[in-house]
Structure 1
Amino acid sequence: MLKERKELEQSLIEVIQTSNLKTQKRKVNDIKKHLASNYNIIDVQGWLNDPESKLPELDIRELLLFSEQIYSKSDVEEINPINYFTENEFKEARRFNGLLNNQEEINFPLTFSNATVVGNNAYMVTMSIKTITKLLNNNLIYYNFETQREAKFVKRKDKIIIEPTLNKNSVKEITEHLLQGTLVPTVLVFNCETRSTDDASGEEIIYNSKNLELTITKGTRVSITDGFHRITASRNALQIDPELDFNFAVLLTNYNTKKAQQYMAQISKANAISKTRIAELEAKRLSDNVMQQIREESELKGRISHTNRIHSLNRELTTYKVLADTIDEEFKLETKIDAMNVGDFLVSYFDHLIGSYPNEFINKIEETRANSLINDSNMFVGYVVLARKMFEAKIPAKEVREYIKDIDFSKEYWKSKGILDKNGNLERTPKVRKQIKQFFNDIEIKKK
């Protein structure tokens, strides 16, 4: 400093106590807004109320920035910071961030009450802007450039840096509405990213339907899918008025990035569902998690019927029930991590199976069905059995063709087993599925 710090502190105290600055609400609010929005300093009112005890405790950068604002509103030359601080001290003060000095720690796991289910792996909770700001300040929620609407690229020195695209006028308007109590409650969307938890359960979200409690588990990466402007405005508003109270409804999803992107187009249609449906979702099998992965990531995408019938026009190959039931019966799924590992294997397995026989499974489905059962819905029972045997033997999924190529799928062969109906198709009965299972179980696997 160019002069003694105490000299500046005494001059500031005198100006604050003897002038009518504290009673000029507009000037005080201007000071608060400036220091909050530019430097994340939110303790200004305390400094004005008790400068004698507060000013000596300030970081030198806070003292500079505060004196600069008081001077701008009072024009008292005795507190002009230019007379007290060096050029380097001004540069340091311009980089000050109050959040780094006054950050209230918070971490996962966090539990929210009165949570509701709104769909498969989607839940609704209520969060105060204080909680949301704590999550943001502690880097527990982050801006996901892959699911947000847009981003901007900024060149700094020799590097190109991606930054969030913020409409400052929009943030300012939302901030004002919050401070004035006129903001309409809306829904924010956070995604608890799959495969990010450190919890032993492998679950990013644990929902207790009895107590209506939802817990985000330790280590979970939570991205802001929708609502970054409102979150930024909330933090700005709290910096001006730390006692501000406002709640947002927050939709928590548990998807991979691709699914989160797809969900963005549908979030406005999310509605709470009945208790009966909640019970149904709570009883969901781990095999259903595997099925979700197969439907979204494998060559079977769009080819799985959700009814008991195969729809030729949709080029469907099998049904959800056939696959899910067989996966549930064949694979030992005890945790979500088990389901993820099996899901990874089956995605690759079906990719290689279908890719090895493009005519049979893609190009000439109906022509193939005239003489062969290779793409019959029930034959997928056998394919899952074979996949389980390969998985347990640690045989790569890409080797599936080595086992399929020697199987006789002709209708004549399977007719001899007495399991075809009068139209020459596999009968849709548990007995037939049991026979197919046995056939594929009898295939000899070369264990690694």
Structure 2
Amino acid sequence: MEERLQVIDLLQQVIDKTIRYDKKMQNFIKDKLFKENNMMKGETQQLLNGDLYQIEDNKILCLLMMAIHDLFPERSKKRKYDVNNYFTEEEIEEAIATDFTPKENPIDFPIKIHNVLQVGEQDFITVLPFKFLYELKNKHIMNYNSRVKKFVNKKSVQAISELLKTGRYKPDTLTLNVCKGSSNSSQNELEYDFDTKTLTINKSVIELIDGFQRFQGSKMTYIENKNIEVNWQVAIKWYDEKSVHDFTSQMVQYNKVDKGRASFLVQAKKSDLLVNELVNESELKGKVSTSSKIPINSGEIVSYSILSDTIDELFIFNTITEMDESLDFFKRFFNALVSSYPEAFITDVKQVKKLSLINSNSVFAGYIVLCKRFMDNDKDIGELKKVLDNIDFNKSNPLWESLGILKGGVVTPSAKKNFKKFFQSLEL
């Protein structure tokens, strides 16, 4: 265990200090691992961008060290990154022999789906990851019903994708139909085991009969970021052609909405419009994550949802003009914040985050509160650094444990709420 940590410390240090800033070095490592071990270049880039402490496979660490060893011509560095100093001969041989060629795991009939509930003679419900649904479509096992494709709005697809990316899309249902009578064999298209709650789909025609726009929005999101986790409630039907027609007609009839009401329902929060401008036109550019969990080494420091939800909670914008006036103040506030503490927000984010809360994700809810108080009291933004300098953000400060922001040195789920209270009561 100690030797493993020593290896990771050594590799992480050279990546953080040198390799991450040198494209030629990165390309050398990617080319070497691809040619010799068939590791996809995108996967190698993720290793170089990520946190090696999360890697459980010693073979990957060994191969990475061998590539870094070949990267440097200096003898001293070659000795420093000599795998023989850290791995056994058997471990080295096993690493060299490793082939990372992606192994196909083709989806084919019969398809077994677990944790399925039967809600009617021909009706079932379950939860499936979108990745699985995408593969069904990609391998032409599932297709779109022609009636479904008639009802599509590109703006709605884009809106759904944006909500999924920011984690604000509420769970909804897609509907698949295993077409009754489409099997060429004597087997039924569906078999359900009540005891194991397993639904088996035998070779048949599968169609998406409701949720085309939701599927397209998910597809757009998934193609942009295949690491994003999107799960869907999926209703599975076993209908003949007439029943499908009745079902889709029913859905169209029940989902009719007058134009004004529809505009209201799909309208994005005004706070989203403000945050989008803030993200693109202030010092926060490139520092806002669309995920609720900030990826390590990404350079991102705050989640989109923390900013949007807190602004939505504290501000009421009756007109776009009001929002624009507030936007200008927000830009100046966050520009002052970032430029006042460059180590925390630009040059040494990761190191500062280990010891301090000044650049934690949750603290930004408090910064929004502080921004509003500056705005309401016509306080000069030039005084922001003076106010913040009076706060000891070090994690060792017992104040944070007493406020319920830290527990045992770890940020608590209630930190966002407690930071808002702290900045609301802060003396200006």
TM-score for both structures, normalised by structure 1: 0.37
**Structure-2-length-normalised TM-score:** 0.38
